[in-house]
């Protein structure tokens, strides 16, 4: 439980840093835009009003045109960054309203992004509380429907079954991680940084330098290739083979 709390604290700290960096980037974009517009204004003052380009000579408006093009890019960058900040603030607000929620997945890049809970060990308490609430709503709906109303209330049997399976899956994963035994070789690989434990699903250890290739630990405490995140390429297979044979 202490590990989960620590992960939750780390997650909040990371999110705060991300939002702070995003706001800092927006300030830099706006400052660069203002400086660019000032430069355009100064260059315009150096060119006589209505001065035409002379054929065969350098385009006297070339630098100004380039700076105007840059301004358009900066305006678009500003709008994009504003949407990102709005999305990050929406996620932050969503988490504050759901205190037990530690890990979220976000679909979209603006304040209208769709936010949901990740299937993560860190979210176990959130899912358990959600299950209690769903079961309560389900019982109330069933009791109401027994009165034979003109319009029945929705029941949540399917959602409850699905949520129970998710909780059981995460609890099994959490227990497996907490009761695991590590061989000296496995411990040495972890300590060396060759593999990194996935905190959201702690039975998986991703191999450093490879994309989505993970190992799991067997009953004897030894690593083996995860069937969920196997190596597909020959080169990745060779890296894992050498790692396990060390």
pLDDT of 39 > 80? The answer is yes
Q: How far apart are CA 235 and CA 51, in angstroms?
A: 64
Token couple for 79 = 């709008």
Rounded to 5 degrees, φ, ψ at 206 are: -80, 140
Angle between helices 2-46 and 62-97 (to 10 degrees): 160
CA atoms within 13 A on the CB side of 135: 10
Residues 6 or more apart whose CB falls under 8 angstroms from that of 48 comprise: none
**224-238 confidence digits (pLDDT tens):** 999 999 999 999 999
Instruction: Give residue-wise pLDDT tens across range 4-13.
Output: 445 555 556 6
Evaluate if residue 1 carries a pLDDT over 50.
no
CB distance 237 to 210 below 8 Å: no
Residue in the block written with tokens 């936010």? 115
3-state secondary structure of 105: strand
Q: Rounded CA gap, 101 and 113, in Å?
A: 17
Weakest-pLDDT range from 40-44, 121-125, 129-133 = 40-44
The full set of domain ranges for the chain reads 2-118, 124-178, 184-245
Looking at residue 114, what is its pLDDT? 85
Q: How far apart are CA 207 and CA 212, in angstroms?
A: 8
- C-alpha–C-alpha distance, residues 19 and 22, integer Å: 5
pLDDT at 54 exceeding the cut of 80: no
Q: Identify the pLDDT of residue 5.
A: 47
List, for residues 71-101, the tens digit of each pLDDT value: 999 999 999 999 999 999 988 888 888 888 8
């Amino acid at each position: 439980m202490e590990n989960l709390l620590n992960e939750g604290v780390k997650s909040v700290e990371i999110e705060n840093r991300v939002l702070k960096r995003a706001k800092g980037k927006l300030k830099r974009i706006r400052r660069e835009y203002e400086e660019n517009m000032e430069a355009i204004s100064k260059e315009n003052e150096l060119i006589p009003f209505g001065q035409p380009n002379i054929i065969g000579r350098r385009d006297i408006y070339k630098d100004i045109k380039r700076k105007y093009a840059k301004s358009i890019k900066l305006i678009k960058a500003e709008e994009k960054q504003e949407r990102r900040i709005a999305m990050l603030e929406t996620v932050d607000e969503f988490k504050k309203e759901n205190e037990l929620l530690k890990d979220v997945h976000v679909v979209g890049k603006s304040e209208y992004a769709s936010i949901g809970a990740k299937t993560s060990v860190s979210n176990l308490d959130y899912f358990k509380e959600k299950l209690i609430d769903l079961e309560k709503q389900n019982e109330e709906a069933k009791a109401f429907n027994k009165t034979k109303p003109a319009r029945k209330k929705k029941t949540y049997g399917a959602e409850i079954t699905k949520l129970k399976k998710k909780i059981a899956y995460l609890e099994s994963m959490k227990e497996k991680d907490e009761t695991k035994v590590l061989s000296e070789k496995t411990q040495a690989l972890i300590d060396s940084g060759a593999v990194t434990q996935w905190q959201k699903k702690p039975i998986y250890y991703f191999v450093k330098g490879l994309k989505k290739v993970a190992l799991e630990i067997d009953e004897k405490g030894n690593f083996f290739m995860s069937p969920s995140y196997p190596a597909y390429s020959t080169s990745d297979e060779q890296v894992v083979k050498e790692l396990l044979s060390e």
